[in-house]
Amino acid sequence: MKHFILSIAILTGLPNLVSAQKEIRFNTIDSLFSYADQSSTVIKNNDEQSLLAKFQKLAAQGNVVNFQDPITYTMNDNTLLPKSFIPGGGPFGGTPGTFIPITLGQQYVSNLTYTPQIDIINPANWAQINRAGVSQELTTTTNLLNIKSLYESIAACYYNIASYQEQIKIVQKNTLSADSILQVVKNKYAEGLVRQQDVNDATVTELNLQNNLKQLQINLEQQYYSLKLLCDTPPDVTLVVDDELNTEQTFNAELTAGSNLLSKSYILQAESAKANLTYNRMLNLPVLSVLYSHSLYQNSKNQFFDNEHSASWYNSAFIGARVTFNLPNINQLVLARNAKINYDIALINMAHNQLQNDINNKQLELDYQKNFSQYTVTRRIASLKEDNYKMAFNQYSESILSFDKLLASFNDMLVSRVNYKSALANLLYTKTKIDINNKIK
C-alpha cells in the first residue's frame, strides 16, 4: 500500500517537475546573454564561419608550393597501327627514289606514369595566403558585429518586457483606484449630488484602463515571442524576465562609448579588397615549377600484362623545370580592373565609416545624457502627480473639487507613472548598449 501511494505521489508531481524544467528565468541582462550564447543560431553560425575561415587560411598556406602528384595508368589497344615511310634502295630493298611503307609499334601498350611537381616561385599563391589571412580577420570582426547586434536586440526585448511588466502593475493598481472613483461617483449620484454624465465618465475611465491592461499584456507576449526568436528557444520552453528595474539611478559622467568595431570592419574590408587586387595582378606573373617523372611501360603484340611471352616492363624517368606564363586575356583584365574599382570603393567606405563610428559613439553618449535627464524629470513629475491625485480625491470626496478635475488628475497620475517606468527602461537600455559596445570590440 505504501509503495502504491508513493507511486501515485511521484506520478502526480512529475508534471510539475517537467513544467519547471521548461521555464527559464532571468533576473539580469547578463544571464540572458549567457543563455543566448548557448542557444542562438547567430552564435552557432559565427562558430561555423570562423572554422571555415580558419581552414581556408590553412589551405592557402598548404597550397603555397602547389604540390601535385598525379599518377596515370593508360592501356591502349592499337587496333590499327599507323604506317611510316622509309626511302627505298640500300639495305631496305626496293627501288631507289621510292618509299617503302612499314608498320612500327605493337598492338598492346600499357603505361604507368607518376609525375610529382612543386612550385618554387608562385606569386599568386603567395598573395592568396595574405588574402586568406585578411579574410579570417574580417570574419572574426563580422562575427563580433553580429553578436553586438544580437545583444542589442536582446537587450531591447529584455527592457521592453521589464517596462511592460512594470506598466501592467501600474495599470492594475490604478484600475482599483478607478473602481474606487466609480463607487464614490455612484454614491454621490444616488444622493443626487452629481450627474449621470459623471458616472458615465468614471465608467469610461475604468473601461479604458481595462483595455490598456489588455493591450499591455498583448505587447508583453509579443516581446516574449521576439525574445524566443532571437534566442532560438523551443516553443515548449517559457522564458521569464524577473527583473524589478532599479529605480535608484545616478548619472555617471565617466560613462563613454569607445567601440571601434564598425571602423575596424571597414578597414579590413579595404585590406581584403587590396589583397584581392594584388592576387588578381599576381595571376599574370610566371610560375616556376620543378617536376619529376617516372614511367613504367610494357609493349606486347599478344595481350595486356603479357607475362607468358616474356614481354618486359621498361622504365624511364626525368627531372625538369617548368615555367608557366598565361598571356593576358580579356576576362583576366576585367577581373583585375574590377578588383581595382572595388578597392577604390572600399577606401571611400572606410573613410566614411570611420566618421560614422565616431558619430555612433557620440550619439550613444548623448542618448545616455538625454535619457537620464528624462528619467529624472519623469520621476519627479510622477511623484508630484501622485500627490496631486491624492489631494484631488480627498477634495472630491468632500465635494470641494469637481469630478472632471478629479478625472484629469487621475489620468495625469497614470500617464506620469507610465512615462516614468518607460524612461527608466530606456535609460537602462542605453547604459546596456554602451556596455555592449565597450565590451565587444
- Average pLDDT, integer, range 240-250: 90
State residue 79's pLDDT score: 78
Higher per-residue pLDDT: 167 or 77: 167
Dihedral sign computed on CA atoms, order 49, 52, 54, 57: negative
Q: Domain coordinates of the chain in residue numbers?
A: 2-67+122-285+327-439, 71-114+287-324
d(CA 87, CA 76): 29
Q: How much of the chain is helix, strand and coil, in % rounded to 5?
A: 65, 15, 20
b (16+ CB within 10 A) / e for 205-238? bbeebeebbeebeebbeebbebbbebbebeeeee
User: Is residue 136 scored above 90 in pLDDT?
Assistant: yes
State which of 70-79, 140-149, 311-320 shows the largest mean pLDDT.
Answer: 140-149
| pLDDT level of residue 420 (50, 70, 90 thresholds) | very high
Least confident of 43-47, 271-275, 380-384: 43-47
pLDDT bucket at 90, cuts 50 / 70 / 90: low
CATH: 3.40.50.970, 3.40.50.2300, 1.20.1530.20, 1.20.1600.10. Which one for 2-67+122-285+327-439?
A: 1.20.1600.10
The whole-number pLDDT of residue 325 equals: 83
Distance of CA 170 to the CA centre of its chain: 38
- Residue 371 confidence (pLDDT) above 50: yes
Report whether 102 contacts 84 (CB < 8 A).
Answer: yes
Q: What pTM did the predictor assign?
A: 0.80
Write out the three cell numbers for 142.
563580422
Residue 309 confidence (pLDDT):
62
The lowest-confidence range among 151-155, 296-300, 431-435 is 296-300
Say if residue 199's pLDDT is above 80. yes
Q: What is the mean pLDDT of residues 298-311?
A: 72
> Could you tell me the pLDDT band of residue 310, with boundaries at 50, 70 and 90?
low
pLDDT grade, residue 2 (50/70/90)? Answer: very low
What is the predicted pLDDT for the residue at 5?
A: 40
